[in-house]
Copies of this chain bind each other. A is one copy, B any other.
Amino acid sequence: MTHISADHPVLTFINVFTVKPENQDRLVELLTSATDVSVRYAAGFISSSLHRSTDGTKVTMYAQWRSLEDYQAMRDDPKPLPYLQEALKIATFEPGMYEVVKTFEPVQA
């Protein structure tokens, strides 16, 4: 499970992939494989969550890292490259690196 909180100093990556609906399942498989063979073993990896859009046109990875240095070190690992290269044949992606400003809870009426 991923926990989002402004109290924990983590670096957050929200990467939005755009894909044709007929390729959404394959993209989910490729990003899952890339995470399972490499990312999960990387120092400083905290958590990630994979989302599929209900209209079929997007897949978004929400990932938390301890630091930019840890994230960049993972990027040097060649093991996930075959999956990521195949992913970028069927999808475009818009990366983003963030800090959490705040979280909002419901106000009970």
Listed in ascending order, the chain A residues whose CB lies under 8 Å from chain B are 1-6, 11-12, 14, 16, 28, 32, 35-36, 39-42, 45-55, 58, 60, 62, 94, 96-107, 109
B2:A98 contact, CB within 8 angstroms:
no
Minimal beta-carbon separation of A109 from chain B (angstroms):
7
Indicate whether A60 sits within 8 Å of B4 (C-beta atoms), given known contacts A16-B14, A47-B104, A104-B40.
no
Main secondary structure of the interface of A (DSSP, over half): strand
How many chain copies does the complex carry?
A: 2
| The residue from B32, B36, B62 contacting A4, defined by CB atoms under 8 A apart | B62
Bound-state Cα–Cα, A42 to B96, Å: 29
A60 contact set on B, CB distance < 8 A: 14, 96, 98
